Amino acid sequence: MLAHETSPLKQTPLHALHLARGAKMVPFAGYDMPVQYAAGVLKEHLHTRKEAGLFDVSHMGQLALKAKSGKVADAALALEKLVPQDIVGVAPGRQRYAQFTNNDGGLLDDLMVANFGDHLFLVVNAACKAEDEAHLRANLSDACEIVSLADRALIALQGPKAESALAKLCADVGSMKFMDAGPRRVGDVDCFVSRSGYTGEDGFEISVPADKAEALVTALLDNPDVLPIGLGARDSLRLEAGLCLYGHDIDTTTTPVEGALEWSVQKVRRSGGARAGGFPGADKILVQFADGAARRRVGLKPDGRAPVREGAALFADAGSTEQIGKVTSGGFGPSLNAPVAMGYLPTALSAVGTTVFAEVRGQRLPLKVAATPFVPNTYKR
């Protein structure tokens, strides 16, 4: 038996709270995490879309990147050696979505990068956080101090009533716009707050000292508009929002262009830009920006009611024996009352409205390529 199979699951600082509130717990990225509470996935999903849902995302990695020169611009310039995004252009109090790339142009992870004025604050995926920290240390230690913030919990408050719920504890959140980020006092606790999330809804992510997390979450859940939400609804919400799940929709074999993430790479880092290239895999990625890639991530809407799940093979027609792609995320969209999916297709077949077929239990089910997000986002711009 492999060592990791016998390792005990780690627990977030909110583990006892999840159990006390009747959560059904499952293993996820090495942690014992709530997949749902008594309300169930469907109600949790719809409540987040209508009111506000609270998610424990403390399994994610949190890091501070501090330039040894003391200048945040130097930390930003250093990080640009590892990501294709414009980090230098992230103003103090703002945040940007980024990806670590490898030498083949594939994605080692995706992450959020915030400028806190004197250093950068990074949030990375749970399954990749040890490798991400090692990657940063191996490549940036000459110029930067890399600080693991393992003593912090992370929660997400998402939905149309997220602002009113959080404003009871932090009056100035109402002035924040989408992707604003920085230190904020929440109740009597010094936190890091960003106006962002993973659901397509307006909302916030709150980094809080681990020993203060349960009290803060309890205070938020005392608001009748706020329900605790598990991983099940988190996944269906992000799928409806057309957002990638690392390790499924994007991974080390997919480039930003193949993953339909061109929007995340600013012009200054592309060919002809002032700081073009200089990141791992730049040669391949920048060629794909110019010439396109052979395949592309697309949204898919199955005909009928049957969900088409991750791993389903895709075909150009009902009788073809040649697989042309596969589904990377799929399930039922409660907000749409219909199934939705994402997957990869040859670019020539990626236009919205194109019909392809998925093999499900020996049958070929038709799907149409669809624009994402499936549910319009409600970010506060």
| Residue 1 reports pLDDT greater than 60 | no
My answer on whether omega of the bond before 160 falls inside 30° of 0, hence cis, is no
CB 155 within 8 A of CB 217: yes
Helix (H, G, I), strand (E, B) or coil at 81: coil
pLDDT of 309 reads 97
Q: pLDDT tens digits for 357-371?
A: 999 999 999 999 999
Contact between residue 165 and residue 225 where contact means Cβ atoms under 8 Å apart: yes
Interatomic CA distance for residues 209 and 330, integer angstroms: 35
Dump pLDDT digits (tens) for 264-314.
Answer: 999 999 999 999 999 999 999 999 999 999 999 999 999 999 999 999 999
For the stretch 318-322, contacts whose Cβ atoms lie closer than 8 Å and that sit 24 or more positions apart, written own/partner, are: 318/357, 318/364, 318/366, 319/364, 320/357
Nearest-angstrom CA–CA distance, 228 and 54: 5
Structure tokens at 113: 């990068």
Inform me whether the pLDDT recorded for 324 exceeds 80: yes
Asked whether 182 and 193 are in contact (CB, 8 A), the reply is yes
Residue type, 103: N
Please report the domains of the chain, with CATH numbers, ordered by start residue. 3-59+151-240 (3.30.1360.120), 294-375 (2.40.30.110)
Is the predicted pLDDT of residue 2 greater than 60, yes or no?
no
Check the CA dihedral 136-137-140-145 and report its sign: positive
For residue 198, give the amino acid letter.
Y
pLDDT attached to residue 133: 98
Distance of CA 170 to the CA centre of its chain: 25
pLDDT by residue (tens digit) across 196-242? 999 999 999 999 999 999 999 999 999 999 999 999 999 999 999 99
Identity at 178, one-letter amino acid code: F
The torsion angles phi and psi of 326, rounded to 5 degrees, stand at -150, 160
Residue 88, pLDDT > 70, answer yes
The band of 3, judged by pLDDT with boundaries at 50, 70 and 90, is very low
Taking all residues of the chain, what is their mean pLDDT, rounded to a whole number?
A: 97
**Phi-psi region for residue 336, left (φ > 0), alpha (ψ -120 to 50) or beta?**
alpha
**pLDDT score of 6:** 61
**Residues written for the chain:** 381
- Strand bridging mode 52-56 / 31-36: unpaired
**Confidence check: pLDDT of 109 > 90:** yes
Please name the helix (run of DSSP H) or strand (run of DSSP E) that holds residue 359, with its range, or none.
Answer: strand 355-360
pLDDT above 90 coverage of the chain, percent: 98
- Contact 258/344 with Cβ under 8 angstroms? yes
Q: What is the pLDDT of residue 144?
A: 98
Mean pLDDT value across residues 132-145 = 98
What's the pLDDT tens digit per position in 139-149? 999 999 999 99
Residue with tokens 């997000």: 373
Does the predicted model carry a pTM greater than 0.75?
yes
Residue 332 — very low, low, confident or very high, per pLDDT cuts 50/70/90? very high
